[in-house]
Structure 1
């Protein structure tokens, strides 16, 4: 899939690290090594799973090997899954804040000693920091995490339960966090949305939303021909999305064909 996206000229391919499927870091490394230009994002790495020093080492390694092509995202993780592996914490917000702040410091190549509620480091400094630290994105759903993303991160990842109207609301909450932190630097909003084209596209999208427990009547996702994709993209962009990740439905019969459709037919008209 990564090679197909690279060959077709797509800018980005986004992966994830849901339990208990595949490692996000390993999959991203394979995708980056198999391509020439493609940027690869992970939306997202659950921070309860990962010691911040190890996560920073992995991100630094990929950034040094593939400069400017890795887009790391972090977040709370699904709390039930975190409980299954004994990693659930009583204050996910505190953990995420401590993790992101420590990670950004380490990726700048600075030494860090900190004794937080969850993150404890004693004179930790990466021997091989990246020449240019990658931006760290935070996955967020609720208002507290959205504000935290605005305060601490370089971008926010919104999942597939966001209608264009909810994206607009989320962007407003993110901005509240940025204002509170006095931030004026760029902040990228990446939105995942289910998408289907070809025969029975609308019905397939409806089934996909139902499978995820989403309201089938909500304005979620994109289905249809190239015109429908362009129109759907416009709704999300007008609401504040900087990047729209088209996630094929689980029953997509031709993943490489889907990638070529997005790259060759949708992308030129969106640009």
Structure 2
């Protein structure tokens, strides 16, 4: 199983993200995930730079692969624009770029004032958006008039030799079926072996499966838990709430129901390598090909160094 590093745009400035990427590559991490948000989950996290600017900057400092985890190409940004952004990113990274996509959250996508569609409708939109992007990556002028998107005489001129791979994030059965049918790989943020098998049985076969989890390094476990709870209590928000709440303030309100004890169970906390090893083992046993670890809090250099010494 390959181990990568997850760049959290919700929590860090552009300069910090670039520094983390450089440190991660130097330590031996084999790839990067990067989140694509308009808003952070809460005001305490406090950041949210434009992901495509960061990806361009990263092409000057790293040579390991990078995947968006994940972009929502259905509402906030038209898929024809995402197709151009992904193609340019693939060129900048010499083909080492993967476009991870999903159906998104209202937190980021509602900002243009459009109605937030149902989950089933968003899946249909995602499938059509992938169709649009792949048409544009094939070259030539594209005209498309579908159920959700119109493209008129559009051509992406700056394209990589091989079109970007598209990995799909999916949890429910319908989304899993879509991923198995059309994705080049699968993205999941929980070590669920049943979902991995479901993807493979739905048509995914031996295509890559990527996963990710969060870690909070601090000199003591107590400090690590306190930092994780202050910044990422939203990780404990259950069910579909994360898809429908529209603002950081709403996440702050619902996160008050999450206890520090629940945060400690959901996030690998503290300086002990055994906490990290436990999470890595869960993903390995569930059949993942790649796993990406995201740091929480100010001690990202220490977490990266722990991985360099213990796992890489």
1:103-153 deviations in whole A, cap 9, x for unaligned?
A: 123223365432211122234332232101221112223222222122111
1:42 pairs, out of 68, 71, 74, with 68
TM-score of the pair, normalised by structure 1: 0.82
Query: 1:67-82 alignment to 2 at 5 Å?
Result: 67-82=94-109
Please tell me whether the aligned partners of residues 27 and 305 of structure 2 are also in contact (alpha carbons under 8 angstroms).
yes
1:235-271 deviations in whole A, cap 9, x for unaligned?
A: 211102221111122xx33212222222x12333xxx
Partner of 2:199: 174
Q: CA deviation at 1:95?
A: 0.7
Q: Distance in 2 between matches of 1:267 and 1:143?
A: 34
1:141 pairs, out of 171, 176, 184, with 171
Q: CA deviation at 1:83?
A: 2.4
Q: Which structure 2 residue ranges, 5 or more long, are not aligned? A: 1-19, 40-47, 238-257
Q: Which structure 1 residue ranges, 5 or more long, are not aligned? A: none
After alignment, is 215-224 or 229-238 more displaced? Answer: 215-224
Partner of 1:51: 78
Q: CA deviation at 1:202?
A: 6.9
SS at match of 1:122: strand
1:222 pairs, out of 265, 268, 292, with 268
Distance 1:222 1:85, change over 3 A: same
Please tell me whether the aligned partners of residues 106 and 129 of structure 1 are also in contact (alpha carbons under 8 angstroms).
no
Partner of 1:85: 112
Query: 1:175-194 alignment to 2 at 5 Å?
Result: 175-178=200-203, 184=205, 186-194=206-214
Partner of 2:246: none
Aligned residues, how many?
254
SS at match of 1:245: strand
1:114 to 2:144 alignment: yes
Partner of 2:31: 12
Q: CA deviation at 1:218?
A: 9.3
**What is the CA RMSD across the aligned residues, in angstroms?**
2.6
Partner of 1:212: 235
TM-score of the pair, normalised by structure 2: 0.72
Query: Whose RCO is larger (CA < 8 A, sep 6+)?
Result: 2
Distance 1:45 1:11, change over 3 A: same
